[in-house]
Every structure is written in structure tokens, then in C-alpha cells.
């Protein structure tokens, strides 16, 4: 799948589940529960134990039926390893030039993390396809809307601080998609075996994002 196709899919889905799984086994079960609820954008973070093996397993199991990426990249050498594992897009939590350049050079969609206006512009100039606004909870939708004023040409995806109650506001503020972690798939629920609850929450988020796209 080429870069533009993947980016288009992410924008059409509008929702990326950001998983910091407690174990490989529970992470795989969390993804199963999310997919059962209609979530097809999946980001496995490098803070997940054996993250690359988890991604390789998911790639074999789901193939093209999900859009699978790796996040929390903090070191340049993780780029090639993530790509080899089967990641279709890459996400960093911060704007580091060496890492960002390596992500862009991979030819995979690169989502470089930023918060301040200076960081947003730097990420864009490094070649980020989408700037990950992180942590989104610090400024909320109003902050994204303010950034969109001087930077309407920069595509941004907030992560952190996205909930069912404000997801529509994020899209109204100009988000191309949203990344959602604990609000969508709490690790505690996985540890408690509450996978039906994760599926139910996934359905709620999918419906909320769909409604936001229609409005």
C-alpha cells in the first residue's frame, strides 16, 4: 500500500487507537476487541512489551483489513525495525530532527509529534505528513483551532485528551483524525478481562467519529 493510500484511509477512518499494552498477549486481545467494535486504525506503541512482534503478528492476522502503525518512536533505528515488522505508518511523540528525517526517508506516512507553534512548523518542514499534536489535553480543541489560524496547510492529529464528549469539537477545530488511548481501550480493562467493554466503547467512538464527519 502506498503512502497516499494509507493517509487517505487514516483520514477517512478518522480514528486511531493508540495502544500501550501491558503484555503482548493482552495487547493482541485488546486489538481483537477493538476490531470487533469497528476500529480499524491501530497504533502499537514502542512502550508495549515486544511491540515489533505484536505488530508482525497483527499484520499476519489482519492484513489489509486494518491500518497498522507503530508509535512512540524515540530512536532513529526504530524506524527500520518498525517497517520490517509490518508497520504502515510511523508516529513519534516529539519533534527530533534526526528521528523525523529517518521517518520521512522510510517512505511510510510520518506523524511527527509537536506541541508549540515552533515545533509544529519544524515537524512540517522535516516532512511530516501529519503533525501529531501531543499532548492534546494541554490545550484542547480551542488550541488546535488557534494553531490552524496561521497554519491552515498543516494537517494535525491530536492525541491525548480526546474523549467521547469532545471528539466532535476536535474535528470542528480542524483535526484530520484523532488518536485515542486510555479513553478508548483502558489497559486496566484488559487486565480485568473486560474485552466486551472495550468492544462496546469502540463502537461508541466509531459512531461519534462518523457523526463528527457528517456534521
State the cell numbers at 139.
490545550
Among the listed residues 3, 25, 43, 191, the single catalytic one is: 43
Is 61 annotated in the active site? Answer: no
Let me know how long the chain is.
Answer: 215
43 has catalytic annotation: yes
Which grid cell sits at 142? 480551542
How many CB atoms within 10 Å of residue 113? 27
CB atoms within 10 A of CB 139: 18
Range list of H helices, 14-66: 24-36, 51-62
75, 77, 80, 132: the catalytic one is: 132
What is the Cα Rg of the chain in Å? Answer: 16
In 10 A of CB 21, how many CB atoms?
A: 23
Helix (H, G, I), strand (E, B) or coil at 121: helix
Catalytic residues: 43, 132
Amino acid at each position: 500500500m502506498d503512502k497516499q493510500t494509507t493517509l487517505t484511509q487514516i483520514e477517512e477512518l478518522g480514528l486511531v487507537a493508540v495502544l500501550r499494552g501491558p503484555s503482548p498477549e493482552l495487547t493482541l486481545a485488546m486489538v481483537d476487541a477493538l476490531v470487533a467494535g469497528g476500529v480499524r486504525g491501530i497504533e502499537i506503541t514502542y512502550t508495549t512489551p515486544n511491540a515489533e512482534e505484536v505488530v508482525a503478528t497483527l499484520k499476519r492476522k489482519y492484513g489489509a483489513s486494518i491500518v497498522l502503525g507503530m508509535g512512540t518512536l524515540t530512536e532513529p533505528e526504530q524506524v527500520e525495525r518498525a517497517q520490517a515488522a509490518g508497520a504502515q505508518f510511523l508516529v513519534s511523540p516529539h519533534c527530533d530532527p534526526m528521528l523525523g528525517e529517518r521517518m520521512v526517508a522510510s517512505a511510510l506516512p510520518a506523524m511527527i509529534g509537536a506541541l508549540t507553534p515552533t515545533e509544529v512548523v519544524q515537524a512540517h518542514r522535516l516532512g511530516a505528513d501529519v503533525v501529531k499534536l501531543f499532548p492534546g489535553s494541554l490545550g484542547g480543541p480551542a488550541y488546535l483551532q488557534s494553531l490552524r489560524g496561521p497554519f491552515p496547510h498543516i494537517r494535525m492529529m491530536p492525541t491525548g485528551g480526546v474523549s467521547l464528549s469532545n471528539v466532535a469539537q476536535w474535528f470542528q477545530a480542524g483535526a484530520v483524525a484523532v488518536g485515542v488511548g486510555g479513553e478508548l481501550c483502558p489497559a486496566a480493562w484488559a487486565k480485568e478481562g473486560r474485552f466486551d467493554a472495550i468492544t462496546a466503547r469502540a463502537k461508541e467512538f466509531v459512531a461519534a467519529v462518523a457523526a463528527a464527519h457528517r456534521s
